[in-house]
Structure 1
Amino acid sequence: MGIERNWAGNLAYRAAAVAHPASVDELRDAIGAGGPVRMLGTRHCFNDIADTAGTHIALDRMPTVIEVGAQRDAVRVSGALRYGDIAPVIEEQGLALANLASLPHISVAGAVATGTHGSGDAIGSLASAVRALTLLTASGEIRMLRRGDAGFDGAVVGLGALGAVLDITLDVEPTYSVAQHVYEHPGWDALLADLDAVTGAGTSVSIFSTWQRTDAADQLWIKQRQPDDLRAERAALADALGAAPADGKRHPILGVDPEACTEQGGVPGEWFQRLPHFRLEFTPSAGAEIQSEYLVARADAVAAIEAIRSLAGRIAPLLLVNEIRTVRADDLWLSMAHGVDAVGLHFTWRPDEQAVRALLPDLEAALPASARPHWGKVFTLDGAEVRSRYPRWDDFAALAAQHDPERRFVNEYLERLGL
């Protein structure tokens, strides 16, 4: 019997069965048993990207690998591991990742395959840290692709279309600490007058809004690597924005208990205890929710936010929170930040999918043409339009056909995209 639902509960999976191989040989057998297959990670996608009418394959029983390289600049990890499982292990060895997403609960392979990103003007997506990955293809062949190899840039954000990801090698660096500061009610006009100054005010910056009001956002979160030499600039910025420091710990969603959130108030802590918004030991975010996200070219960011602002009256009743943050450009073919510094417009919706899907076409039409929807979240743009926003799409389609000529990993989601 298959796994019934995704993490948020908004999607019922159709798979007839789920396999939990404990070795490469068992995985090879599961893939080769016949019928379509899809890999299943931590189930944090909000659409049917991981769904199949055939067999789900979960790698949660495969041997665990967390292996730091001899040069201490990379770590090879099992694809099924969560970032929250890896981080404390490499921290004990004095090492760190440059970036983490809002949630440490997501698997490495799943996050990378969907272009999931984290944030920061100078920080690439999680996928940009990949220097090698090992795939088991539908034919049973093991293939390793390294940064610089032909096809590598297409295989990293692979949408699960090329095979099962056995392990991924990630760039690491010496460990560091981060402090997190929260400010309340920054004015929108001031935020948009110099958005670059706002997003450059820390290592990672997030603007949160419920759009219940259009004159001011709700919160501004600034995560800063230590030592912190931007105190004066941050105070001046907060003053210019009309924002006041929060007088206690906050959750991104107004009114929700912040216990699940990482420490705030400028208290320094280990990188993996501050870069995510949420702590591993708690259910992240709101639980019952739907998520959408669009990454726009940085040059289009102000116009995109103004478009959202113009729809605030329709957005606010369905919204739990909107988060705005930045991602550095990369060369990965299906990355939402491919070839362009990007600004992410993330929407955490109330769990009313019918109403959300009714709104999204108007929201998508209002956003600039550079907007690329997050692969693992809810969007309504058709496949042809999505493909048109990725200049290397045809190259990716050819790469997928090369790795999976029998289309064993293709599902309805990928068919809608034209694979």
Structure 2
Amino acid sequence: MTTPGRNWAETHAYEATTLHRPTTVDELRRVVAQASRVRALGTRHSFHDLADSPGVLVALDAIPHEVVLDPEARTATVSAAARYGDVAPVLHEAGWALAAMASLPHISVAGAVATGTHGSGDRIPTLAGAVVALELVGADGDLVTVREGDPDFAGMVVGLGALGVVTRVSLRVEPAYDVRQRVHNAVPWETVVGELDAITSAADSVSIFTRWGAEAVEQVWWKSRVQAEPSATWGVPATADQHPILGIDPVHATPQGGVPGPWFERLPHFRMGFTPSVGAEIQAEYLLPRASFPDAVAALRALGPRIDPLLQVTEIRTMPADDLWLSPAYGRDTVAIHFTLVRDPSAVRRLLPAVEEALAPYEARPHWGKWFTLDADALAARYPRLPDFVALADRLDPEGCFRNAFLERTVLRR
């Protein structure tokens, strides 16, 4: 047992006094059964107290990782604490792949799924959308499995850690493929707003990087499967690899210039072998209906003089609707607007209410693992299945073993 310390970005010091590192699932079950309050701690990429506990924390990274393929079912069952960057090469070597990756391959599978984290693509759902089954330890220490088609499945996938400690995740896989990545610069704002559908459909995965006061969108990254060459014609093609933040050494970024490579070496923005930054940042992200994008851009550009002094970069991505209750993409085709901000907590706390007010007409939903200031009433209005999730949590965890301050503040009010 140790003390948990701080998160990756050093924006939160964990209040839990004890961190357990069980080496087997049975040991984990005993820890959970004996704890009055317990939460799972993954790769520490949540920027606030989502993963904290008033009791004890458990980290699953000491439990041996496994990747079990079922080629007939086209699924892979992986250890919850495994990082995508560790799972992906194993899948690829066996001839299989995932449809999407997040910007960082360093995050754990269970943590990304539980928070509704996404990759990018008009036709590619969030990472949670690839889940076909979950295994988790409930409050009494029992091992529970829920599968696609079960009555509680859609409520349990994006579970915020409120329903148990996930131990294994089964994901859809497909035959391995190669990807080319190309970057264009200086795409006019009016083009991005007016031709968003064409821009985001020109490749399998598209990311738009910029600041709000820039005269043109600074970069657009197109990632396309080799057999489907991108049709991007906007802006000025980059002549060398770039970092998402212009002017920073691109050594940590995944290869560009149209050079083909394995899917897991192109779909993330950053390479697994490197730390993409020192973590001196605060992240916030809001996901809104795709149809609202032009009006949302106008609102944020008007706010640009307040945003840009604190902004390292904004990233814009798209994803289709899903049916997972607490997924930010629930029920609507979605545009995600992500802010990487300087690590100035007091200034960011003053800024975010203004951003949220600007996006309020579009019912923007925050990323669960990043900073936001919306209260429980605002969140309840934006998640139609939130009452069902609360009822599910009350049924599966009636004593509140997995509750914490974040959940009480946002979704599980008494």
Identify whether the pair has TM-score above 0.5, normalized to the shorter chain: yes
Deviation at 1:286, TM superposition (A): 5.4
2:199·2:232 contact (CA, 8 Å) conserved in 1? no
Residue in 2 aligned with 1:297? 289
How many residues were matched structurally? 410
Deviation at 1:72, TM superposition (A): 5.3
Residue in 1 aligned with 2:47? 46
The letter for the 1-side match of 2:332 is V
Residue in 1 aligned with 2:226? 226
Aligned counterpart in structure 2 of residue 407 of structure 1, from 390, 400, 413: 400
Residue in 1 aligned with 2:357? 365
* Cα shift readout 1:96-125 (whole Å, capped 9, x = no counterpart): 000100000000000000000011001000
2:213·2:301 contact (CA, 8 Å) conserved in 1? no
1:336 is aligned to 2:345: no
Residue in 1 aligned with 2:198? 197
* SS of residue in 1 equivalent to 2:105: coil
Matches within 5 A, 1:308-347: 308-347=300-339
Deviation at 1:149, TM superposition (A): 0.3
Aligned counterparts of 2:313 and 2:277: Cα–Cα separation in 1: 10
Q: Among all aligned residue pairs of Structure 1 and Structure 2, give the percentage whose two residues are the same amino acid.
A: 54
Residue in 1 aligned with 2:390? 397
Q: Normalization by structure 1: what TM-score?
A: 0.96
* SS of residue in 1 equivalent to 2:191: helix
* Cα shift readout 1:104-161 (whole Å, capped 9, x = no counterpart): 0000000000000011001000000000001110111111111010110000000000
1:292·1:347 contact (CA, 8 Å) conserved in 2? yes
1:178·1:270 contact (CA, 8 Å) conserved in 2? yes
* Cα shift readout 1:305-349 (whole Å, capped 9, x = no counterpart): 111111111100000000001011100000000011100000000
* SS of residue in 2 equivalent to 1:85: helix
Deviation at 1:285, TM superposition (A): 4.4
2:85·2:106 contact (CA, 8 Å) conserved in 1? yes
Matches within 5 A, 1:178-217: 178-213=179-214, 215-217=215-217
1:417 is aligned to 2:410: yes
Stretches of structure 1 that go unaligned for 5 or more consecutive residues are none
Aligned counterparts of 2:73 and 2:385: Cα–Cα separation in 1: 33
Q: Normalization by structure 2: what TM-score?
A: 0.97
* Cα shift readout 1:261-313 (whole Å, capped 9, x = no counterpart): 00000101100000000001111245211000000001111111111111111
Matches within 5 A, 1:375-386: 375-386=368-379
1:2·1:56 contact (CA, 8 Å) conserved in 2? no
Aligned counterparts of 1:156 and 1:377: Cα–Cα separation in 2: 18
Aligned counterparts of 2:117 and 2:314: Cα–Cα separation in 1: 17
1:245 is aligned to 2:246: no
Aligned counterparts of 1:279 and 1:308: Cα–Cα separation in 2: 30
Residue in 1 aligned with 2:114? 113
Moved >6 Å (runs of 4+): none
The letter for the 1-side match of 2:192 is L
1:260·1:278 contact (CA, 8 Å) conserved in 2? yes
The letter for the 2-side match of 1:234 is A
